[in-house]
Structure 1
Amino acid sequence: MSSPTVDHRKAVEQVLHYLKSAPECGILYGNHGHTRIECFSDSDWTGCKEDRRSTSGYCVFIGGNLVSWKNKTQNVVSRSSVEAEYRAMAKSVCEIIWVYQLLDEIGIKVSVLAKLWCDNQAAIHIASNLVFHERTKHVEIDCHFIREKIQQGLISSGYVETREQLGDIFTKALNGIRINYLCNKLGMINIYNPT
């Protein structure tokens, strides 16, 4: 916002065009019979062609309902796809902690570990296995708080296949079929369709 360019204007126009062409899209929240917290974390390694920075993206579900999502360019250039994914996981864990605190403040106790899904097995191993840390000295020390949160019993990490990675919609350019599939998985529906 501080120094917009023509490219920024084009991006805003694309977003507005999408919103204008899809007024029927919405998210319906329902009771899915549980209060589990799940987060899908993803990144695109060196996705920005100008500065080669990666984009982190995540989406958080409570009880099967999408409640939070974000994508943001990472602050530093990642030297590997694992590092980019790990940084995305770190941002996701921050959001999970915030969700836990919010639920606690409104009187909802969550007794089940939050599940952090990632499609990069090496990043998952780094988070849960101390042996891998020697290979990742170039990753900032504060990113390793993911392992601490796993040890504290706040989260558990899990592998999700790339085709089921809901975070892709926040980090990658996708075709229409893939976008429709992911929007459906995120809970987006046509609010004008009769049920």
Structure 2
Amino acid sequence: MASPTVAQWEALEHILYYLKGSPGRGLLYTDYGHTKIECFCDADHAGSKATRRSTTGYCVFVGGNLISWRSKKQGIVSKSSAEAEYRAMSQSVQEIVWVLQLMKEIGITTVLPAKLWCDNKAALHIASNSVFHERTKHIEIDCHFIRDKIKENVVSTGHVRSDDQLADLLTKALNGTRVEYLCNKLGMTNIYAPT
């Protein structure tokens, strides 16, 4: 903020334009008759031009309703897109475990396993393959708790097409049409929209 650039000013204008155009936008919660937990996770490999760190994004649904989401730059530089996605999966599983514990504490039973959707087949393979390969040694051991949660039937993984990846909204710069599509998929409604 001490010395903003033109690019930062343009980014601010985009944010303000979005906010001005959507004063009535919010989440509408609906009873879909189930308490299944689903999570969409994504990462942009080396998306930061300054640090080359990736950004993790995830959104968690309970009973078909969006209840938790996050977008955060990863703490270290990932050497591959699979590593960046696997780290995003790790953060997502931590959030799923937290949501499961919260649901248990407030007395709501959930259907297990929770579904973790990812669009990177290599990261899904690393998570489901119990054989430790030489090529995966650079991923920290603490990230491999995903495998434990799969074995414990807390989480199951699944592939989602990149076009259907809801977490793209949290990790990538998108155009207005794509943003509108993803906002609708996340359950966002505009109370001022004509009916």
Aligned partners of 2:26 and 2:189 also within 8 Å: yes
Aligned partners of 2:112 and 2:153 also within 8 Å: no
TM-score, length basis structure 2: 0.92
Aligned partners of 2:114 and 2:156 also within 8 Å: yes
The Cα shift of 1:5 comes to: 5.4
Aligned partners of 1:46 and 1:54 also within 8 Å: yes
User: Are residue 144 (structure 1) and residue 137 (structure 2) matched?
Assistant: no
Provide the rounded CA distance (Å) in 2 between the counterparts of 1:112 and 1:78: 31
RMSD after superposition: 1.8
Decide whether aligned partners of structure 1 residues 177 and 9 sit closer, same or farther in structure 2, where only a CA change above 3 A counts. Answer: closer
Decide whether aligned partners of structure 1 residues 74 and 115 sit closer, same or farther in structure 2, where only a CA change above 3 A counts. Answer: same
> Partner residue of 2:114?
114
In structure 2, the residue corresponding to 1:138 is in which secondary structure? Answer: coil
The Cα shift of 1:9 comes to: 6.8
Percentage identity across paired residues of the two chains: 62
| Structure 2 gap segments, 5+ residues each | none
Number of matched residues? 193
1:74 partner letter: Q
Provide the rounded CA distance (Å) in 2 between the counterparts of 1:75 and 1:5: 25
| Structure 1 gap segments, 5+ residues each | none
TM-score, length basis structure 1: 0.92
1:127-158 deviation digits (Å, cap 9, x = unpaired): 01122543200001100000010001100000
Decide whether aligned partners of structure 1 residues 64 and 4 sit closer, same or farther in structure 2, where only a CA change above 3 A counts. Answer: farther
Provide the rounded CA distance (Å) in 2 between the counterparts of 1:4 and 1:115: 43
Aligned partners of 1:125 and 1:132 also within 8 Å: no
The Cα shift of 1:111 comes to: 3.1
